[in-house]
Structure 1
């Protein structure tokens, strides 16, 4: 049983795919917060991995029209049995836009699918033989922590909203969890992990967990003390991921 909003999106998506391109959708799997038991209706996207051979971009745009917050990528079964580092660019849907790039093709998605994925159509991930490699995941974590996340530490980025606190603190905590375990956890699970791994930053981690379900508040004002606490934790977690 899926939450009502997620079920509605999935039903509308599969109905459109099956009517407009019968047989194209060979597999459909949910990853992200739904797979990790951390879905919150007001803030969570519905993340999917769809198996479809050479889908037509125009068809995908038509199918996804109006299906807000349904994000995911299109792959083949052979793609899933291959290291994502070896794959070429592929189609993915993000924030209502169809893209052709490597977005979503990483050890994070492959590991989530293999270990936690929810099967809606097609063989189960274990039957596919989804490629996973904990050391490959850890190497990806190191690179992501020291490139994507470091920009928020070194640059002019300001933590203004409650949702910012949750996104930064729990986002880098997920990477640290993967570095330690070789697996994937939810944002909430990452926060609980961080409380043990970084007890000296307990206050900002607990605040991030409180704001896990907070929608964006446009009336928020800067809080420099809180921003310093976020950046202090971010720096410690990045260093530990190295």
Structure 2
């Protein structure tokens, strides 16, 4: 089966796999794209290419060489056994984020596991349906409840960045994605989440539609901050977060 990827995504995948095979032959057992590529919401100028790589005990220095210069190519390193296990029980591991290789729990959540199981794009290795990925909708719901009441609640404590177009898109669509997962036990894209939220919270339609318009906006300080829009975003966040209980 021929997979048609966006040109930038294809270029990054080709460069990455070539480097991995030259640097550590045989190490890369599986490579899957998740995120906006898998969810059909990729925007060339702003979207990251998100991956899940299957590799046993990769050497971090070798990984740093492989990733050098591969911009907006972020993801995590796991084993096939990790994917068959609840992400809450998977040990910390290597992950690439914003140009830096780190070690920790980042990306090891039900969001990534279910995205891979239901929508993952196979570049190398068995298809996701053959991996027996631990994809538990109730575990996802529990995770999004916790995330809504921790990370996203911080935006209510300090909403000063909500004067930015990009921050409006990030927060409004971000909490909307969590609400979609709470309701359905599944994953959707940022754009899909916005359309879901318009139906779920129709009284906040205006700020949700604005977030969708700014889905691809760069971060730039506005000349005249829109305080009414900031207040509308805060009101939506308050109601959306309250719905998680």
Question: For the superposition of Structure 1 and Structure 2, which TM-score range results when normalised by the shorter chain?
Answer: over 0.9
- Structure-to-structure mapping, 1:117-196, within 5 angstroms: 117-196=120-199
Cα separation, partners in 2 of 1:78 and 1:194, compared to 1, 3 Å: same
Partner of residue 103, structure 2:
100
Quote how far apart the aligned CAs of 1:221 are: 4.1
Q: Which runs of 4+ in 1 moved over 6 A?
A: none
Partner of residue 85, structure 2:
82
Partner of residue 219, structure 2:
216
Cα separation, partners in 2 of 1:157 and 1:24, compared to 1, 3 Å: same
Cα separation, partners in 2 of 1:211 and 1:156, compared to 1, 3 Å: closer
Instruction: Provide Cα deviations, 1:116-168, integer angstroms capped at 9, x if missing partner.
Output: 10000000111010001111000000000000000001225331221111111
Q: Distance in 2 between matches of 1:124 and 1:221?
A: 50
* Unmatched 5+ stretches in structure 1: none
The size of the alignment, in residue pairs, is: 242
Q: Distance in 1 between matches of 2:136 and 2:29?
A: 25
Q: Which is worse superposed, 217-226 or 54-63?
A: 217-226
Query: Please, what TM-score do these two structures have when normalized by structure 2?
Result: 0.97
**Is the Cα contact below 8 Å between 1:175 and 1:241 reproduced in 2?**
no
Q: Secondary structure at the match of 2:27?
A: coil
RMSD between superposed Cα atoms in Å? 1.0
**Is the Cα contact below 8 Å between 2:31 and 2:123 reproduced in 1?**
yes
Partner of residue 236, structure 2:
233
Partner of residue 12, structure 2:
9
Q: Distance in 1 between matches of 2:107 and 2:160?
A: 24
**Is the Cα contact below 8 Å between 1:161 and 1:221 reproduced in 2?**
no
Q: Distance in 1 between matches of 2:26 and 2:145?
A: 40
Q: Which of 34, 38, 50 is the matching residue for 2:37?
A: 34
Quote how far apart the aligned CAs of 1:115 are: 0.4
